[in-house]
Structure 1
Amino acid sequence: MSTLALVTGATSGIGRAFAERFAADGHDLIVVGRRQERLDEFAAAHPEVEVRSVAADLSTDEGIDTVARICATEPLDLLVNNAGVAHYMPLADLPADKARELVNVKVLAPTQLMRAAVGGMQRRGRGAIVNVAGMIAFSGPAPSSVMPRRAVYAGSLAHLVAMSQTLSAELEGTGVQVMVVCPGVVATEFHERQGMDLSAVPRMSAEDVVTAGLRGLQLGEVVCAPGVEDAALLDSVFAADLAAFGGQNPALATRYRAG
């Protein structure tokens, strides 16, 4: 029986690499992107599998609703929420339309697509959701000297990490996996479209990110960090999160009481 994968942001970078890998593995595909010509090019290059292309702008309500309807009605085995925009700039400098675009693409769209897909996956007793975030999700405590500042971008990726972890716990025992992939700097068009030249910066390939993500699913990981050799570092972060969460009580902490 053929399996069906839907990939957003499938026309370049990590999304394209996921779609290429799924096609090579024999999965039928629904590829989502803004550029119809690139979607058509991908479909034409992969006659060995069934490829359905959906031109949709996930920064808009119409685009999100279009893809959400597909997620709700198609028997998806895999959903990859990869679409993204960068907009690296301090909050005060970020135009309102760019802030809205970023939150729609990296927060609202994945949330709505997961909500639409997860019910069917639960009923079928199988499926996997992969959210593509980044190590910037962990950069919040960095001092002001660490540039560029990108509060909305970092916040949107941190949302994907926390939501993936919480949804994974919700779905325990259902046969549905949820994982978030957090690469560092990746060699794609992503930064170039923002006018950033990172050619001198060591970068991971999109294909390696996909290899890590699919292996992470096999390992049962919820947070996959392809470039972090010492997985205990992540365990320490999450253990500290849970310790802080569990360390609360109704009494006001001593440091907040008047001296």
Structure 2
Amino acid sequence: MSKLALVTGATSGIGRAFAERLAADGHDLIIVGRRKERLDEFAAAHPRAAVRVVAADLSTDAGIDTVAGIAAAEPVTMLVNNAGVAHYMPLADLPAAKAGEVVHVKVVAPTLLSRAVVAGMLERGAGTIVNVAGMLAFSGPAPHSQMPRRAVYTGTLAHLVAMSQTLSAELEGTGVRVQVLVPGVVATEFHERQGMDLSAVPRMPAADVVSAGLRGLELGEVVTAPGVEDAGLLEAIFRAGLAAFGAQSPELATRYRLS
């Protein structure tokens, strides 16, 4: 069976690294991004691969609708929801338009694109959905002194983790796999667009993130953290969450009762 991958945010960083690796592995590609010249350059550099270029802005409803229509109509075997937008700032400082862009790109687009491909994948009994989030998804409890505040961006990544885990459970036994990829700081243009100089900070190459993601799929992981050596740390987080979920009661907890 032919392999067709749709990769969003394919003009640079992790998205481009995914496109490079998947093309080398024999996938036909639908690559999505805002900068058409970069998409065209990628296609021209890969004449042996069937590459379809889609210039679309996933921070808009129109852009999402365009890509979702293509995703639903084509026999996509792998969807990589990688597109991102670098709006790092506290909620009180974040303009409404930028807050909307973050939510569209990291919540609405992955949700609707996953919905667009999943019916065909279920019909074929095979397929893979990869959602690219980040380790900031687990940073919520950190004090301000340890982690700069970026509530909206962090919240969207946490959404991707929970959605991917739940969607994986929904699709259990169907042949359709779901993974959320949670890298740490990666050597891409992402932070530069925020005016952040991280040249002195150790950063993982984007190609390593992709290698971890593909190996994680082979291992059957739903949550793949490329830079976390002790996978038990993640398992402990999820066990604790399930324990709290299972420990709920219709009775008011003692600490909330008036004395």
Q: TM-score range by the shorter chain?
A: over 0.9
Task: Quote the residue 1:47 is aligned against.
Answer: 47
Structure 1: which 5+ residue stretches go unaligned? none
Task: Quote the residue 1:90 is aligned against.
Answer: 90
Task: Quote the residue 1:69 is aligned against.
Answer: 69
* Deviation readout 1:137-175 (Å, 9 max, x if unpaired): 000010121232100000000000000000000000000
CA RMSD of aligned residues (A): 0.6
Task: Quote the residue 1:235 is aligned against.
Answer: 235
1:174 is aligned to 2:174: yes
TM-score, reference length from structure 1? 0.99
Secondary structure of the corresponding residue to residue 128 of structure 2: strand
Q: What pairs with 1:178-217 in structure 2 (closer than 5 Å)?
A: 178-217=178-217
Question: How many pairs align?
Answer: 259
Determine the C-alpha separation between the residues in 2 that align with 1:144 and 1:205: 28
Q: What pairs with 1:33-182 in structure 2 (closer than 5 Å)?
A: 33-182=33-182
Q: What pairs with 1:17-32 in structure 2 (closer than 5 Å)?
A: 17-32=17-32
Letter in 2 for 1:145: S
Determine the C-alpha separation between the residues in 2 that align with 1:198 and 1:220: 33
Determine the C-alpha separation between the residues in 1 that align with 2:148 and 2:16: 27
Determine the C-alpha separation between the residues in 2 that align with 1:8 and 1:199: 26
Task: Quote the residue 2:251 is aligned against.
Answer: 251
Determine the C-alpha separation between the residues in 1 that align with 2:71 and 2:252: 45
Determine the C-alpha separation between the residues in 1 that align with 2:98 and 2:162: 23
Determine the C-alpha separation between the residues in 2 that align with 1:179 and 1:147: 26
Determine the C-alpha separation between the residues in 2 that align with 1:215 and 1:147: 30
Secondary structure of the corresponding residue to residue 204 of structure 2: coil
> Structure 1 stretches (4+) deviating beyond 3 angstroms?
none
Letter in 2 for 1:251: E
Letter in 1 for 2:226: P
Secondary structure of the corresponding residue to residue 66 of structure 1: helix
Secondary structure of the corresponding residue to residue 30 of structure 1: strand
| Post-superposition offset of 1:71 | 1.1
| Post-superposition offset of 1:110 | 0.4
Determine the C-alpha separation between the residues in 1 that align with 2:86 and 2:47: 33
Determine the C-alpha separation between the residues in 2 that align with 1:42 and 1:86: 23
Letter in 2 for 1:146: Q
Letter in 1 for 2:176: V
Determine the C-alpha separation between the residues in 2 that align with 1:147 and 1:92: 16
| Post-superposition offset of 1:2 | 2.2
Determine the C-alpha separation between the residues in 2 that align with 1:174 and 1:76: 16
* Deviation readout 1:95-137 (Å, 9 max, x if unpaired): 1110000000000000000011111100100000000000000
Determine the C-alpha separation between the residues in 1 that align with 2:68 and 2:42: 22
TM-score, reference length from structure 2? 0.99
* Deviation readout 1:198-226 (Å, 9 max, x if unpaired): 00000000000000000000000000000
* Deviation readout 1:54-80 (Å, 9 max, x if unpaired): 000000000000000111110000000
Determine the C-alpha separation between the residues in 2 that align with 1:26 and 1:119: 24
| Post-superposition offset of 1:49 | 1.1
